[in-house]
Amino acid sequence: MSIPLQPNGPRMKDYSCANKCTWCDGCGDFGIWTAVKRSLVESGIPPHGVLLCYDVGCHGNASDKLLGYRFHGLHGRVLPFAAGAKLANPTLPIMTFGGDGASFSEGIGHLVHAVRSNYPIVFVLHNNANYGLTLGQASSLTWQNQKMNSSPNGIPEHTLPSMDFLFSLEPTFVARTFSGDIPQMTEVLKAALKHRGFAFVDILQACPTWNHFATHDYFLEHCYDANKEGHDSSDFKKARQIAVDTSKRISTGILYQREDLPDFYERLVPRQGRKTTPVEEVEITDVSEYMKMFI
């Protein structure tokens, strides 16, 4: 993969980093990490032309395993940081990564408002249905009767129906893929990078150490590419239905997308017609005109 896809375009090795990966054998993070790099390369984005924002968890340990401008923040809080960064410089693509623990427990409020705000960023959910890095506690997406670290009897709460919940927020982009399918992840992430607005990408991720219910093999058996089966991703009702119903098969691909709605930045009245970004506008500003209104 050292042949650039475009003349002078980025190569996979431009994203390579000397730090060794520390994930468990068979961890889904390897596949996601590879697909992220591939999607950036295939989108023609060089490392200095992207900001990758990581939450805390096993996935966050990717923050120093590739190049690009990167941020590794606080548990559950990556979305508002990334949104602030994006609004300061909307010209820079931003990919944001968070686990199911961070995104559906600690920081679920941020997810709700990020979808609602339609911030023009990509959000990748590393969905392994448990808290891996803290040694396998249940998350709100863990299946209900699974025994987990600190839940010897399984969790009493019912599992949060994440897709139904997400669709209730009227998202503009919802995709699902799985950590064993690098080509599909790459295509989905490339589409997410191009999306006008908030792109939610749910990556079902194998966690061989802690998750013994939704395994790599389970995903291989159950996942199907809905787009290949002719699913119309503009059909909200149908998309919600196939996203939610995973009882027999798990739909993957771009499940829903609409681009007729402006993103958050586009909606900001004071920014209409401005060619510069807030980053470029920083200077000591003369307020003489504004002072007059107090005389």
Partner 1 sequence: MSRIAIKITGAQGQGVNSVGEICAKGLKRAGYCIFGYREYMSVIKGGHSSYQLDVSNEEVRSTHELVDILVCFNHHGLELNVEEVRDGGVIIHQSPDWKWSTKQSAELKKKKIITIVLPTEEILRKLRAKPILGNMLITSVVWALLGQSADALRKLASEQFASKKDLLELNMQCIDEGFAFTKKQAADVRVELPEHDDIWKDRMLLTGSEAMGLGAIHAGVRFYAGYPMTPSSPLLKFIADMQNKTGMVVKQAEDEITAAQMASGAMFMGTRALTATSGGGFDLMSETISLNAIIENPVVFVLAQRPGPATGLPTWTAQGDLLMAVSTAHGEFPRCVLSVSDAADCFELMPMAFNIAENFQIPVIVLTDKQIAEALYTQEKFDQSQTTFERGFLITEKKELAKLKATDRYDPEAEYGISKRWLPGAKAATYVAQGDEHNADGSVDETPENAKAQMEKRMKKGAVLAEATPEAMLYESDIGHRTSDKGNSEPKLDLLIVGWGSTKGPILDVMESLSRSPKSSVRSPRIGYLHYTYLWPLKTEKLQKLAKKAKHVVLIEGNYQGQLGQLIRQDCGLNLERKILKYDGRPFFYDELLEAVSFQLSASGKRFSSFTKS
b/e sequence 243-265, b meaning 16+ C-beta within 10 Å: bbebeeebbbbbbbbeeeeebbb
Q: Does 194 bind partner 1 (CB under 8 A)?
A: no
Among 23, 30, 81, 198, binds partner 1 (CB under 8 A): 81
* Shortest reach from residue 32's CB to partner 1, in Å: 17
Q: How far is CA 262 from CA 163, 165, 211, 266, in A?
A: 23, 22, 39, 6
From residue 104 to residue 123, the character string flagging contacts with partner 1 as x (rule: CB under 8 A) and all else as - is -----xx-xx----------
Q: How far is CA 276 from CA 88, 90, 282, in A?
A: 10, 10, 10
Q: Does 9 bind partner 1 (CB under 8 A)?
A: no
Among 82, 129, 189, 204, binds partner 1 (CB under 8 A): 82
Q: Does 80 bind partner 1 (CB under 8 A)?
A: yes
Total residues in contact with partner 1, by rule CB under 8 A: 56
From residue 14 to residue 53, the character string flagging contacts with partner 1 as x (rule: CB under 8 A) and all else as - is -----x---------------------------xxx-x-x
The residue (of 19 and 149) whose beta carbon lies closer to partner 1 is 19
* Shortest reach from residue 58's CB to partner 1, in Å: 13
The residue (of 97 and 178) whose beta carbon lies closer to partner 1 is 97
Quote the Cα angle for 232-184-177, to 5°. 75
Terminal C-alpha separation, the chain = 66
Q: Does 2 bind partner 1 (CB under 8 A)?
A: no
The residue (of 120 and 180) whose beta carbon lies closer to partner 1 is 120
Radius of gyration of the chain (CA): 20
The residue (of 109 and 183) whose beta carbon lies closer to partner 1 is 109
Rounded to whole angstroms, the Cα distance separating 120 from 83 reads 8
Q: Does 8 bind partner 1 (CB under 8 A)?
A: no
The residue (of 71 and 236) whose beta carbon lies closer to partner 1 is 71
Six-digit token string for 278: 């807030």
- Interactions with partner 1, residue window 223-282 (CB under 8 A): 265, 268-271, 274, 277-279, 281-282
The residue (of 83 and 185) whose beta carbon lies closer to partner 1 is 83
Q: Does 95 bind partner 1 (CB under 8 A)?
A: no
Six-digit token string for 186: 């790459």
Instruction: Give the binding site for partner 1 (CB under 8 A).
Output: 19, 47-49, 51, 53, 56, 61, 63-64, 67-74, 77, 80-89, 91-92, 109-110, 112-113, 265, 268-271, 274, 277-279, 281-288, 290-291, 294-295
